[in-house]
Chain A
Amino acid sequence: MKLSTKGRYSLQTLVFLATCTENCSIRKISEATGISSGYLEQLMIPLRHAGLVEADRGVLGGYRLAREGITCHDVLAASEGDFNPAPCKECAKTGKCKTHQIWSLMQNTVVDFSKEVTIEELADKLVDSGTGGGV
């Protein structure tokens, strides 16, 4: 069980953005994360729609976090479309199926925990590690 590449890359992108004090160009994010510019442009679309990042055009343009307190769950819910580890949502047997309970437990555990971890927390760790970020 793994997060999709989209989900993992989106987390990386937002953690990096959280260390930036000004707008950050796609090129700069690409250099820091190793994710290609083209792919970053794609990742940004759902993140913008979800109100997690904002962008300015022009010379001083680029991306920044749209708000404080963004959690890992916010990012994964936006980037994975439907962050639903358990597959039972549309199953007709819900309520009768015993394995359903296991998937619910899995889902609740993952969702609850990812709501507890904020992007800023992770960005602070990155800055503490001395390896930088966009500061």
Chain B
Amino acid sequence: MKISTRGRYGLRLLVDIAEHGESGPIALSVVAKRQNLSEKYLQQVALLLTRGGFLSSVKGSGGGYLLKQQSEEIKIYDVLDLLEGSITFEEEVEGESAIEQVIRLHFYRPLDEQVARAFEGLTLADVTQAAWFTYVI
């Protein structure tokens, strides 16, 4: 199990925009340079985040991306769920065996619930404000 590159880049993009986007849209070329990430790849991730309702794009010169909502309203869990396709381990397979069913109901499902609980209430604002670090660790 691994968090995908899309998940990692997407989150860094959002954090960067949350930290620097107060005075207007941020161009991806700027983020790419600041975060040392490929601009091409950021374009794909930005598109996904825009479709998912986390970013809005501003066209034209001086254009770029802005947060669509306040960072206090953007839930990290929802962002990860979008970026990773789905953040849950549980998946129902057609014609699953008794063994698969037991593992799904008694391991994957409670594991998903545990992850959801851990991330409950955690917003982008918590991540950009370093205060969060101290009470998680």
Contacts and interface: CB of A to CB of B under 8 A. Distances in A.
Nearest to A100: B133
B99 A110 contact: no
Given A1-B86, A7-B1, 11 more contacts: A1-B1, A2-B1, A11-B107, A33-B97, A102-B80, A102-B127, A104-B137, A109-B115, A114-B107, A122-B103, A133-B98
Interface string A61-91: 0000000000010001000100111110000
Nearest to B88: A1
Contacts of B133: 101
Interface stretch (A20-28, A37-45, A47-55, A124-132): A124-132
B131 to A, nearest CB: 11
A56 interface: no
Contact of A1 (B11, B76, B87, B114): B87
B115 A106 contact: yes
Q: Is the interface of B mostly helix, strand, loop or mixed?
A: helix
Interface size class for chain A? 35 or more
Contacts of A36: none
Interface in B74-105: 76, 80, 84-89, 91, 97-103, 105
A99 B111 contact: no
Contacts of B136: 101, 104-105
B121 to A, nearest CB: 12
Interface residues of B, number: 42
B15 interface: yes
B34 interface: no
A98 B130 contact: yes
Contact of B2 (A8, A34, A84): A84
Contact of B15 (A32, A98, A109, A132): A98
Given A3-B89, A98-B15, A132 B103 contact: no
B132 interface: yes
Contacts of B11: 99, 102
A99 B8 contact: yes
A98 B11 CA distance: 10
B89 A2 contact: yes
A94 interface: no
